[in-house]
Amino acid sequence: MFAKFLSIGAYTPKNVMDNKYFESIVETDDEWIYKRTGIKTRFKADDNQYTSDLGVEAAKVAIQRAGIDKKDIGMIICATISPDYLCMPSTACIISHKLGLKNIPAFDISAACSGFIYALSIAKAYVEAKVAKYVLIIGAEKLSSIVDYTDRSTCVLFGDGAGAAIIGTTTNEKEKIIDINISADGEFQDFLITPGCGSKNPCSQKVLDEHLQFMKMKGNETFKVAVKTLSNDVVELLSRNGISSDKIDHFIPHQANYRIIKAVGDTLNLHEKQIVLTVEKYGNTSSASIPMAINDIYESKRLKNGDLMLLDAFGGGLTWGSSLVYFAGN
Ligand code: ACO
């Protein structure tokens, strides 16, 4: 019995923020943003639309495309760094309720941009242990709620959105999730951090005045570690499974920065056609970025049943992960 990646869904909020918009709120310009990051637009949820709402919309699509009865879902995992509520209840519980599901485990995981691959690894383990028949995994982010729109070094990078997948079971080797690497190193915990409103710096007027409730990033340091770690991670995953990079149909990396993706693609000798790029359109949507990218190639009919995907992510923590997965949907 193997776990399989049965379906994909995503949701993009309707409000577009283009680079011109950022020119009007901070000292920046389209040329700097596009050259340094590859981003042209990103999307923003409405004020009354929360992370769970984005996740629910993505989940509905994934459930419908899987062709399953939602009552057969045995677990819901939501990866997010922008939950509806800081501590509780979890966004996964809220999503579960909004989907009309009850009495199944539902929990959030916090692994920043690597969250979707972390969720995938947990789903794989539960499905293969026959604890759940289907697991719904979601990467959902309303990053606009934790972005400091006065900080030009971060605000231009991030967008809102959600992606979801149904993980099921198969006995067919050609449909399975082949392998997953996940890892972390807390030494670099301050590279990407929201310093305020946790137990270390509980919410106070001082915290708010100093904008500590927002994401801070050591961009340049993160960039260097990201390129090195991601490259090593995927090289190790491919070699452990005896798969050469020319066999990859779709390399679907976390969409943080075009230059990081290009550097890792070059290390793997990947052809442009193999690399999925959505950073230009969505910016960095953290845990939602990989499933949104998978959804893009699905909806543009580039993703076919049996295609081999290589997923690769890196984020705050620091955390990282990669996975070799056959797409088992239709
Ligand atoms: N517009 C214009 N100038 C800017 C802007 C902006 N929006 N932002 C920064 N600058 C300036 C800086 O102030 C600096 O100016 P200085 O030289 O006068 O000091 C200059 O541009 C260069 O800044 P750097 O930070 O060195 O720029 P860099 O080339 O590293 O690009 C970036 C910054 C895009 C953030 C890049 O470092 C990056 O992508 N880092 C990795 C991000 C990432 O992978 N994150 C992980 C996942 S995210 C998560 O987990 C939530």
Chain centroid to CA 92: how far? Answer: 15
Distance 220 CA to ligand 1 centre (A): 6
What would the pLDDT profile of 202-251 be if each residue is shown by its tens digit? 999 999 999 999 999 999 999 999 999 989 999 999 999 999 999 999 99
Which positions ≥6 away from 286 have C-beta within 8 Å? 80, 81, 82, 112, 113, 115, 139, 141, 143, 158, 315
Distance 174 CA to ligand 1 centre (A): 41
Pocket test for ligand 1, best of 147, 223, 227, 284 (most atoms within 8 A of CB): 223
Name the DSSP letter for residue 197. Answer: S
CATH 3.10.105.10 fits domain 177-188+215-326: no
Distance 105 CA to ligand 1 centre (A): 39
Share of the chain above pLDDT 90, in %: 99
**Catalytic position from the list 19, 257, 284, 295:** 284
What would the pLDDT profile of 88-147 be if each residue is shown by its tens digit? 999 999 999 999 999 999 999 999 999 999 999 999 999 999 999 999 999 999 999 999
**Alpha carbon distance 202, 61 (integer Å):** 38
Domain ranges of the chain: 2-172, 177-188+215-326
Tokens encoding 132: 């759940």
Known catalytic membership, residue 284: yes
Residues 164 and 8 sit within 8 Å (Cβ to Cβ): yes
pTM beyond cutoff 0.95: yes
Work out the angle at residue 243's Cα, subtended by the Cα atoms of residues 293 and 137, and round it to the nearest 5 degrees: 35
| Ligand 1, residues at Cβ distance < 6 Å | 28, 32-33, 36-37, 112-113, 152-153, 156, 192, 219-220, 222-223, 226, 256-257, 260, 284, 286, 314-316
Q: What is the atom index within ligand 1 of the atom nearest the CA of 143?
A: 51
Strand duo 73-79 + 2-11: pairing: unpaired
Rg (CA), the chain: 19
Known catalytic membership, residue 113: yes
Q: Do domains 2-172 and 177-188+215-326 have the same CATH topology?
A: yes
What is the structure's pLDDT at 151? 98
What is the structure's pLDDT at 168? 98
**Adjacent-strand bridge partners of 166:** 7, 136
Tokens encoding 219: 């961009």
Per-residue confidence band for 174, with pLDDT thresholds at 50, 70 and 90: very high
The class that CATH gives domain 2-172 is alpha beta
**Alpha carbon distance 252, 289 (integer Å):** 9
- Residue 307 burial (10 A CB sphere; 0-12, 13-18, 19+): middle
Distance 106 CA to ligand 1 centre (A): 36
What would the pLDDT profile of 17-59 be if each residue is shown by its tens digit? 999 999 999 999 999 999 999 999 999 999 999 999 999 999 9
